[in-house]
């Protein structure tokens, strides 16, 4: 049943603009899979789905649809600006993308990164010092070029 469910999720992502986990839960339950949001969250991770801004919509896509480093592509499609102030870095994103970008940034395990906080379209990054903040800002700016 799990293999069939994962296959169905792939089909749904390719066929429709799936914008939220709740949307996937609703469709899968309607199709008879009887899933929870936690199950769908694990499935998304297992399948390596990422959120991408395409066709004016923030939607889930398969990594194979992105053609390249999916994380870097997500950053390019999501980040609007990156600014630093003292030991803080402020990242402005397209609406709804800050959490996905923040998870990716956390996963980079950057030197000097103390912590992150994401809202809907803004991320605050606390760095250990001004030098670390500038390094983090430079790295992010380079990734979105």
pLDDT per residue over 4-49, tens digit each? 999 999 999 989 899 899 999 999 999 999 999 999 988 988 887 8
Residue 64 has pLDDT above 70, yes or no: no
CATH fold of 71-143 reads: Gyrase A; domain 2 (3.30.1360)
2-47 CATH choice from 1.10.10.10, 2.40.50.100, 3.20.20.300, 1.10.10.1100: 1.10.10.10
Answering whether pTM is above 0.85, one says: no
pLDDT in tens, 67-103: 445 667 778 889 999 999 999 999 999 998 898 899 8
The residue ranges of DSSP E strands in the chain, in sequence order, are 50-54, 57-61, 79-85, 88-93, 113-118, 122-127
């Amino acid at each position: 049943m799990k293999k069939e469910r994962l296959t169905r999720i792939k089909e749904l992502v390719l066929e429709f603009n799936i914008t939220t986990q709740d949307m996937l839960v609703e469709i899968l339950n309607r199709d008879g899979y009887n899933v929870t949001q936690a199950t769908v969250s694990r499935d998304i991770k297992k399948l390596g789905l990422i959120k991408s801004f395409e066709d004016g919509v923030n939607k889930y896509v398969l990594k194979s649809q992105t053609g390249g480093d999916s994380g870097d592509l997500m950053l390019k499609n999501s980040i609007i600006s990156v600014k630093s102030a003292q030991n803080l870095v402020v990242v402005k994103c397209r609406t709804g993308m800050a959490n996905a970008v923040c998870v990716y940034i956390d996963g980079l395990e950057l030197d000097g990164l103390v912590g992150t906080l994401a809202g809907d379209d803004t991320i605050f990054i606390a760095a250990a010092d001004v030098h670390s903040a500038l390094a983090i800002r430079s790295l992010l700016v380079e990734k979105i070029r």
